[in-house]
């Protein structure tokens, strides 16, 4: 079965070098630019390449996640005011999900992880706060709080002066934590 390299095209130069090194060591590599023609469906081609094989989805991992990241605390101090307080409140809920919660600052916002596997984040914008979930598309959302159309991620948008359904958002955070825990434990 080939090694499928998934990457951001911003990292294309690095990936090309890595792929060539792996090929020199007799690895079977599958890189989109080597395998696809204009108009090909990447999903169909990956499926054809791997038919009959057992696929295991890999989790996003952040090796720098720590129990309490000073960069996250600094971010909280920089984002004072009502929106910052709102973000801090919900990040504290994430921190309290379990003893295995770790954190880091990624893409400019605080991220909560189970060990090194992220499950939630907060971010402050000019007029709202996002409480986001890395696998939000898979979470049950009976309160219909989640927004977004991406393949994996979803967020809850909180605005000043608009009542948030705190009970439902707390449930989403707990569910996101339980979800990532199951993903980590079950591979």
Q: What is the CATH number of domain 70-186?
A: 3.90.1150.200
Average pLDDT of the residues of the chain:
85
pLDDT digits (tens, 9 = 90+) for 32-67: 666 655 665 555 555 555 544 333 456 889 889 999
pLDDT digits (tens, 9 = 90+) for 96-137: 999 999 999 999 999 999 999 999 999 999 999 999 999 999
Mean pLDDT of 151-178: 93
β-pairing, 128-133 vs 117-124, is antiparallel
Taking each helix axis as running N to C, give the angle between helix 82-95 and helix 166-186, from 0 to 180 degrees, rounded to the nearest 10: 40
Return the domain boundaries, the chain. 3-50, 70-186
Q: Band of the pLDDT at 23, cuts 50, 70, 90?
A: confident
pLDDT at 25: 72
pTM over 0.85: no
């Amino acid at each position: 079965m080939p090694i499928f390299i998934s990457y951001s095209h911003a990292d294309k130069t690095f990936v090309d070098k890595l792929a060539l090194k792996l090929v020199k060591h007799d690895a079977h590599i599958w890189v989109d630019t080597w395998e696809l023609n204009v108009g090909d469906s990447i999903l169909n081609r990956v499926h054809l390449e791997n038919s009959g094989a057992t696929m295991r989805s890999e989790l996003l991992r952040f090796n720098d996640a720590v129990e309490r990241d000073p960069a996250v605390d600094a971010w909280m101090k920089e984002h004072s005011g009502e929106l910052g307080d709102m973000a801090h409140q919900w990040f504290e809920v994430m921190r309290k999900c379990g003893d295995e919660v770790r954190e880091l600052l990624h893409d400019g916002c605080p991220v909560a992880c189970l060990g090194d596997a992220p499950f939630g984040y907060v971010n402050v914008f000019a007029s709202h706060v996002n409480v986001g979930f890395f696998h939000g598309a898979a979470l049950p959302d009976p309160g219909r709080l989640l927004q977004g159309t991406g393949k994996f991620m979803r967020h809850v948008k909180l605005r000043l002066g608009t009542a948030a359904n705190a009970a439902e958002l707390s449930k989403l955070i707990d569910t996101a934590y339980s979800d990532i825990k199951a993903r980590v434990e079950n591979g």
